[in-house]
Amino acid sequence: MPQFMDVHHGMKGITAEQLREAHNADLAIEKEEKGVHFERAWADPESGTVYCLSAAPSADAVQRVHERAGHPADEVHPVPLSI
């Protein structure tokens, strides 16, 4: 399954609990989108940036899950190369 890195801006002050809640919301909703799985997430509370790594059939499928969870991504990049 292709991998995607998506980026959220404007999340200044995000806490560990809020990141966990947002990720859990994605996990609960991803079942509605065949083949989508959110694997990892990293947050920089100071700049308000959140990165999510997922496996999914398309960038649109990634975004649909984030939208239904209430936090659409500002960027969704396919990352076909990884180490």
* Chain residues that interact with a copy of itself, rule: CB under 8 A: 3, 5, 14-16, 19-20, 23, 40-47, 49, 51, 53, 77-83
Q: Shortest Cβ distance from residue 37 to a copy of itself (Å)?
A: 13
> How far is the C-alpha of 42 from the C-alpha of 32, rounded, in Å?
24
Q: 1 in helix, strand or coil?
A: coil
For 20, 27, 72, the CA distances from 7, given in Å and listed in that order, are: 16, 17, 9
Considering the complex, state which of residue 3 and residue 72 has its C-beta at the smaller distance from a copy of itself: 3
Q: Shortest Cβ distance from residue 54 to a copy of itself (Å)?
A: 11
